[in-house]
Structure 1
Amino acid sequence: MPLGKEPPEVLKQRLFYAGRKFNFEVTRLRLPNKAEGDWECIRHPGGALAVPVTPEGKLILLRQYRFAVQGRLLEFPAGTIEPNEDPAETIKREIEEETGYRAHRWQKLGEFALAPGYSDEFIYAFLAQDLELLETPPNQDADEDIETILMTPQELEQAILAGEPVDAKSISSFFLARPFLN
């Protein structure tokens, strides 16, 4: 087997933190070139995201406070996949809880690694159409600070290009959805 084609050898794995949403571990590896080192990784169950489009062609986004960046980001509705849950079920639940809308037509847009330099999290992106505004208000989690925003695809693109704070998973999913937007 040529150098670099064989997988690294795991020498030791240590769990440093087991949390509600993710775990943090450090793994000691020996690379095929015999160099050894420690690699840190956030182990995450993954997330599902919706690009919701109203019948008028508006996108439903959230302006959400995110502690890690100490500010509000513009993002599409998304949520963490629960154990043994299909990503499609995750996002159907999350879109209703976060926005108060129910989608009757779904299309998978794709999936992508969110931050493979330090996490194994994948995002599963869906296009949500044929939306119905529910009579009951959104049932947001107690620890969420969310405002629902309607924007045209052009307005979102302008916001991204102007440097407004938009999270990476939403920018990536917007790009995947562009061929389906008016």
Structure 2
Amino acid sequence: MKKFEEKTIQSTPIYSGKIISLKVDDVLLPNGKEGKREIINHPGAVAVIAITNEGKLVLVEQYRKALERSIIEIPAGKLERGEEPELAAKRELEEETGYGCHEISYLQSFATSPGFADEVIHLYVAKNLYEIEEKAELDEDEFVSLMEVSIEEAEEMVEDQKIYDAKTAFAVLWMKLNSGRA
């Protein structure tokens, strides 16, 4: 048995959309009582810490409706059904930035909001970037602007809350900690 495991008694689907689904699970708690859990199922995502040959971090700015504002992020996107995370990372890098990479390595995976969602982001580091001649198209509902910033500029963006999401804040911290080795 897993520590503090909550056993599902019943699961009730509430919504199934293009990207996410929502269900309510009735669970048996470790103390023997019953509880309810609202859970979002998500196919997972990838994110890329893309580092230019000059050691700058490649970022994109885009509007996030859930926050009602634009934020600056590392390139990222959801996994397509059956898609390998590394291939998805390369695809998202190309679509959002117009860059390809000669070197990509897996860094780690992490849960984004484990209190209510099962989404996991697979994080990669891309180096030896090159511009793609025939750039991939963004999704039809996706609008981004590209920027390349130093680690110091990225840290200021975190302080100013222009960088406001966890995956990008993690990327900035990783860049700072690995600046001598990146």
Question: TM-score, normalization: structure 2?
Answer: 0.92
Partner of 1:43: 41
- What CA deviation, in whole Å up to 9, does each residue of 1:10-49 have, x standing for no partner? 1110111111111111100011211111100111111110
Partner of 1:115: 113
Partner of 1:147: 145
- CA RMSD in angstroms comes to 1.7
Cα offset, 1:95, TM superposition: 0.7
Counterpart code for 1:100: G
Partner of 2:101: 103
- Retained in 1: the 8 A contact 2:163–2:169? no
Cα offset, 1:9, TM superposition: 2.3
- What CA deviation, in whole Å up to 9, does each residue of 1:115-167 have, x standing for no partner? 11111111111110000011234511110121111111111012102332432
Secondary structure in 2 matching 1:105: strand
- Retained in 2: the 8 A contact 1:110–1:176? no
Partner of 2:52: 54
Secondary structure in 2 matching 1:69: coil
Partner of 2:21: 23
- What CA deviation, in whole Å up to 9, does each residue of 1:27-81 have, x standing for no partner? 0001121111110011111111001111011111000111111110100001111
With 6-15 and 66-75 compared, the bigger mean Cα shift is at: 6-15
2:143 and 2:20 map into 1 onto residues whose CA distance is 21
- Retained in 1: the 8 A contact 2:46–2:121? yes
Alignment of 1:119-130 (within 5 A): 119-130=117-128
Partner of 1:33: 31
Number of residue equivalences:
180
Partner of 1:176: 174
Partner of 1:72: 70
Secondary structure in 1 matching 2:43: coil
Secondary structure in 2 matching 1:68: coil
Counterpart code for 1:14: T
- Retained in 1: the 8 A contact 2:5–2:30? yes
Deviating above 6 A after TM superposition, structure 1's stretches of 4 or more consecutive aligned residues are: none
Pair 73,138 (structure 1): closer, same or farther in 2 beyond 3 Å: farther
Report the identity percentage.
Answer: 34
2:44 and 2:54 map into 1 onto residues whose CA distance is 31
Counterpart code for 2:121: I
Partner of 1:81: 79
Which consecutive residues of structure 2, in runs of 5 or more, have no partner in the other structure?
none
